[in-house]
Amino acid sequence: MKGSFLTTLFLFTLNAQAQEAHILFSQSNMSIYNPAFTGTQGSFVSLNSRSQWSGVDGAPKTNYLLYFLPKKKNVYIGFTAQNDRVFIEDKITFTIDYNYEVKISQSQTLFLGIKGGGYFNNINVDRLQRLTSDYNPALAPVSGYYKPLLGVGIQWKTPQYFLGIGVPSLFSRKRFQDNEIIKTKATDVPYFYFSGGATYNLNTSFSLEPVVVFRSIQNSPDLITTTVALTYQKQFTLGSGFSNNQNLAFFFSIKSIKGVTLGYGYEFMNRNNKTAIQGATHELMLRFKFTEKEEKEESPRKDG
């Protein structure tokens, strides 16, 4: 019965659109959605892992590896490797981000980003638990495929606020090749991301950082995720998040004096419907920030 359900679910997704997972530590990893955030928080390497629906076989899992180079004049360069797994699909994405800084005033900066790369989606239909070994024409067009990727983004930033608009992949592409037996509508379509956030210094030790991420995709419900983080002396962060799909989350992170940040997030579905998936989501973040000489050179100096 379980095998039949999973097979039916997979065949249904042939006429659906791929969905991107959102992440709790989005403020530190916003470049995934918007290349105009690349490098704006410094040079670092970051590893993030997100496992959804704990206890469900074949549930979505996402891993990110980000590497941002030190700033060179007005240019930031970043590299991203991403792996998404769900059921029988295994998607690997590699991108390079280029972000250009435009100084509007002493307190306002505009960032213009572009993202280029590609992804390979491997689909292993042999893992389907079928009720019969007879030929199924619905599976004929299903196979792994490679697609190039091009995205753009813009960010406006001040010491207290930021606003960003990003499209990580601009073009729609059919996922499978049609044949004489069956025609599919499954398509990888563009995502639109709007993000905004602020930093409020409550006193010399505590700051409050609310962040909102709005995601829109054709023929799918919009997703709005809000997180609020309380930070103590820029070393320890405790926060919570809520999204309009009724998910509730809590997270924390701690940073050492050597620039290593470790974070953990726990998200669960705030639903009373017994038929809904209730498995929790776990998210881990490990980040190492490099010491940048350029930042020291640009620090204010007193005139003699």
Residue 298 lies in a domain: no
pLDDT for 12 equals 41
Total domain count for the chain?
1
Residue 6 lies in a domain: yes
Q: pLDDT tens digits, the chain, 304 residues: what are they?
A: 444 444 444 444 444 444 455 667 877 789 999 999 999 999 999 999 999 887 777 788 999 999 999 999 999 999 999 999 888 888 999 999 999 999 999 999 999 999 999 989 887 766 666 666 666 666 656 667 788 999 999 999 999 999 999 999 988 776 666 555 556 666 777 889 999 999 999 999 999 999 999 999 887 889 999 999 999 998 999 999 998 887 889 999 999 878 899 999 999 876 665 545 567 889 999 999 987 664 444 444 444 4
Picking from 278, 276, 269, the residue whose alpha carbon sits closest to that of residue 249 is 269
Please, what sign has the CA dihedral across residues 29, 33, 39, 43? positive
Partners of residue 247 on adjacent β-strands:
269
For strand 89-103 and strand 75-86, is the pairing parallel, antiparallel, or unpaired? antiparallel
Give the span between the Cα atoms of 72 and 78, in whole angstroms.
12
Phi-psi region of 7 (alpha: psi -120 to 50; beta: other; left: phi over 0): alpha
Give the span between the Cα atoms of 13 and 159, in whole angstroms.
44
Picking from 229, 290, 250, the residue whose alpha carbon sits closest to that of residue 41 is 290
Give the span between the Cα atoms of 56 and 129, in whole angstroms.
16
Domain of 117, CATH number, reads 2.40.160.40
Residue 299 lies in a domain: no
pTM: 0.81
Give the span between the Cα atoms of 23 and 287, in whole angstroms.
15
Residue 246 lies in a domain: yes
Distances (CA, A) of 200 to 73, 196, 207, 238, 252: 29, 14, 5, 15, 18
Residue 112 lies in a domain: yes
pLDDT for 280 equals 85
Residue 48 domain boundaries? 2-292
Residue 31 lies in a domain: yes
Residue 302 lies in a domain: no
pLDDT for 284 equals 94
The identity of residue 265, as a single letter, is G
pLDDT for 53 equals 81
Residue 119 lies in a domain: yes
